[in-house]
Structure formats: C-alpha cells, structure tokens
Structure 1
Amino acid sequence: MEAGGVADSLLSGACVLFTLGMFSTGLSDLRHMRIARRVDNVQFLPFLTTDVNNLSWLSYGTLKGDWTLIVVNAVGAMLQSLYILVYLHYCPRKAKVIQTKSTQRLSFSLTIATLLASASWTLYGFRLRDPYIMVPNLPGILTSFIRLWLFWKYPQAQDRNYQLLQT
C-alpha cells in the first residue's frame, strides 16, 4: 500500500472514531432520561438537527459510494433516531394526534400539497437522473404517507359546535 493510501486509511479511521465518539455523547442524555423517566433539561433540537444532518450525509455518501461516510452516518442516524424516540417517550407533551386520536391539528391540504410537490420533484430528478434532486424529496413523500395514514386511522371529526335546523 502506498503512503497516500495508508494516510487516507488512517484519516478515514480517525474520522469514524472521533465522529462516533461525538455521536455517543448523547448516550448520557439517554441514560438520564431512562433513569429519571422524564426529559428534564435535555434538549430535543440537537437530536433532530444531528439526525437530519446524518441522513443528508448518509445520502451523499451513498451517492458517492464512500463507505466512510456511509458507515459513520448510518450509525449516527440510528443513534440520533434512538435518542429522539426515547425523548418523545418521556416528553410530557406527546404527539397530540395520537394522544387525542384526532387529526384536527393536521392540515390535509398541506399533506396533499407536500406529497404532490415532493413526488413531482422526485420524478423530475429521476427523469434527469439527478440524485441531488431525487433524494432530498423522498422524506416529503414518506412523511406525507405517514400523515395520510393518520388521517385514515383518526378521521377528522365533524364540527359539533352547530345544531341541526329543525324543519
């Protein structure tokens, strides 16, 4: 193996090691939430932004075929998703749609618009064979289908603040 190859391998290993170390710092928050059974001062936004960042870099690594990017960001995305799930489990303000079994707080028109926009951009990217257009729009399609499932599972109740007119 030539000197450049060894240096590249060492640098790749260091990137993976240090980045996984950084991602694992959330394990202390995870431990705290599980022991305390509440979120206390644990912040949600860093988990979410890091997860989005990991998924973006994972997509890029996949497109590029770079296994260093793929491995480290797949592990990072799994850890961040785990942190998010535990946070949501112990957060006192749970998802209102599931808690109330009502989709009144969701916008059906926004769901349809998001699905159509994301699907059309994905198809456009597919037609151009441009993964940089396709991949970022896939989450919009996925989340739209999840919201449509919620509308199916928890249909919006009719407005009951009116009385029927007697004829």
Structure 2
Amino acid sequence: MDFLQLLSCACIVFTLGMFSTGLTDLKKMRASQSAENVQFLPFLTTCLNNLGWLYYGTLKKDGTLVFVNATGSLLQIVFILFYLYYTKERKKSWMQTVVMVCVLFLGRAYFSVAVHEGDAQLAQLGLVCSIFTVSMYLSPLADLLEIIRTRSVERLSFPLTVATFLTSASWTLYGLQLQDFYIMVPNTPGIITSLIRFFLFWNFSPVRQDKPSYKLIQI
C-alpha cells in the first residue's frame, strides 16, 4: 500500500468516525422523543457541505471524496429526518430545509449551465466548497471565546475534538499529496481550531479527574 492509499484509508476512517458522532443526538432524540436541546443547523450545513464535495469528487473522479461524502450525506439526511420527526418547531425546520434544497438546485443549475465543463467548472466548485468548509470550521470561534471567558470546557467534546483533528490532518495531507489546494487549504483551519481546543482542555481542565470536565460522546 503506497502513501496515497494509506492517506485515503485514513480520510475514510477518520471522517466517518467524525460523522458518527451525530449518533449521540439521534440517540438523545429517540430516548426523549424530543429534539429539544439538539441543534438543527449543523445537520443542514454538514449535509450541504457533503453534497458539494460529493459533486466535486464526482467531477474530479476521486473515489475517496465520493465515498466519504456520499456516506456523510446519507447520514446527515437521516439525522435531518429524525429531527423533523421529533421537533416541535416543524415549520421553522421545514423552511430551513426547503432553503437548503433551493440552494442545492440553484448551485447545481449554475455549475451545470452557466459554467463550462472542465477545469473552470472544477476550479469554481472547489473554491465554493473550500469557502463553505472554512466557514464551518471557523463558526465555533464565538463558543471558544465564551469558554475562555468562563474558563470551563464543559460544552466541548474531547472525543469530537480528537476526531476533527485527525480528519482535518488526514485531508490536508491527502490534498497536499494530490496537489489539490481546494482539498488541502480548507482543512487547515480544522487543525488550528482543534489545537486551540486541546490547549483549552489542558489549561481549563480541573486537577482532580473524578469526573470529566468536558462533554463526552455517548453512542
């Protein structure tokens, strides 16, 4: 197995592991028969991100991108359906879902009709996917500032931080190996934000470890 194949396997394993953390919310909804205290927008944005990269992987004929993001899209759709079933705010959630579907159709129409096939189409789609991925990685920065203010890491998940770091690092190396900056660059912020989280865990975790001070993932 060469280095690229090894990176491909790492990307698949680590990314699917990160996606599976959503099973915690699914289990919580089933147990409580409610979607209370479960955030809906991360499901939508992750699904939109997966579908964008799935399209990019299809155009690029990259099997790793296609497999990971097809699986991720299906998982996110399952999470969305569960949320829509259990939530009390169905109207708002359905409207947000409709907006996402409209964005997908408009995006697909633009890249299929307005942009010529080939390198230009791949470059524009890669740029859009990259910007969206970077915005997803940077969106929790406000929470990190709040954690610094309160000096408490209870709202952070240490296993999810580890999964995010390994996923971002593997995709960054994969993109570097392929010399595809649209894959490499947007995953770099994931490494940086994960390292910031690790520092917060190290700095704000209590000396006594009778009880974890951070949020655990339960599956």
Q: TM-score range by the shorter chain?
A: 0.5 to 0.7
User: In the TM superposition, what are the counterparts of 1:72-87 in structure 2 within 5 Å?
Assistant: 72-87=68-83
Selected match of 1:6 from 2, 18, 21: 2
TM-score, L = length of structure 1: 0.59
For residue 53 of structure 1, report the CA deviation from its aligned partner: 0.7
Is the counterpart of residue 123 in structure 1 residue 113 in structure 2? yes
Relative to structure 1, the CA distance from residue 52 to residue 67 in structure 2 (aligned partners, 3 Å threshold; closer, same or farther) is: same
Selected match of 1:49 from 45, 48, 69: 45
What amino acid is the match of 1:75? T
Give the greater-gyration-radius structure (CA): 1
Task: Give distance in 2, aligned partners of 1:23 and 1:37.
Answer: 22
Describe the SS at the equivalent of 2:90: coil
Question: Considering only aligned residues, what root-mean-square deviation do their CA atoms show, in Å?
Answer: 2.9
What does residue 13 of structure 2 align with? 17
For residue 6 of structure 1, report the CA deviation from its aligned partner: 1.0
Structure 2, unmatched stretches of 5+, are 129-219
For residue 118 of structure 1, report the CA deviation from its aligned partner: 7.5
Greater relative contact order structure (CA < 8 Å, 6+ sep): 2
User: In the TM superposition, what are the counterparts of 1:1-167 in structure 2 within 5 Å?
Assistant: 6-95=2-91, 122-125=112-115, 128-129=116-117, 131-132=121-122
| Aligned sequence identity (%) | 49
Task: Give distance in 2, aligned partners of 1:30 and 1:55.
Answer: 21
For residue 123 of structure 1, report the CA deviation from its aligned partner: 2.7
What amino acid is the match of 1:51? C
Task: Give distance in 2, aligned partners of 1:73 and 1:117.
Answer: 17
Task: Give distance in 2, aligned partners of 1:117 and 1:55.
Answer: 11
Relative to structure 1, the CA distance from residue 23 to residue 116 in structure 2 (aligned partners, 3 Å threshold; closer, same or farther) is: closer
TM-score, L = length of structure 2: 0.46
For residue 11 of structure 1, report the CA deviation from its aligned partner: 0.8
Describe the SS at the equivalent of 2:88: coil
Of Structure 1 and Structure 2, the greater helix share is in 2
1:38-73 Cα shifts (integer Å, max 9, x gaps): 012110111111111101110110010000000000
